[in-house]
Amino acid sequence: MKLIRTTYPHTFNAEAFTGTSRSRETAKLPDVTPHVLRHTCASWLAQSGARMDVIAMYAGHDHPAVTRAVYAHIHPDYLAGARRIIERLVPRLL
């Protein structure tokens, strides 16, 4: 069993990639890879409002800046500042 060290201090089994492919093919599922599952998990965490540094740890990113660049647009707070400005301006315009 070959273990691969990721950028974050945890390991995973390289055979999982092969096993995932075989299982997917047997079940006649679309192309679902461990990367797709990781991205889906990170997206769900972002949509749920999880902190970017926490998502970065789960995704195995070296820096939360990478995570913010990829997932910030789906975080519920992404446009909150702009929304508050618009809400303050709209009454003045009416």
Give tens-digit pLDDT for 17-46.
566 677 778 878 777 777 788 888 999 999
pTM of the shown model: 0.59
Radius of gyration of the chain (CA): 19
Q: Tokens at residue 48, please?
A: 């749920």
What is the domain extent for residue 15?
A: 3-93
Mean pLDDT throughout 37-61?
A: 90
Number of domains in the chain: 1
Long-range contacts of 23-30 (CB under 8 A, 24+ apart): none
Give the pLDDT band (50/70/90) at residue 90: confident
Rounded mean pLDDT of 4-26?
Answer: 59
Q: What is the DSSP letter of 24?
A: H
pLDDT (average), residues 50-64: 90
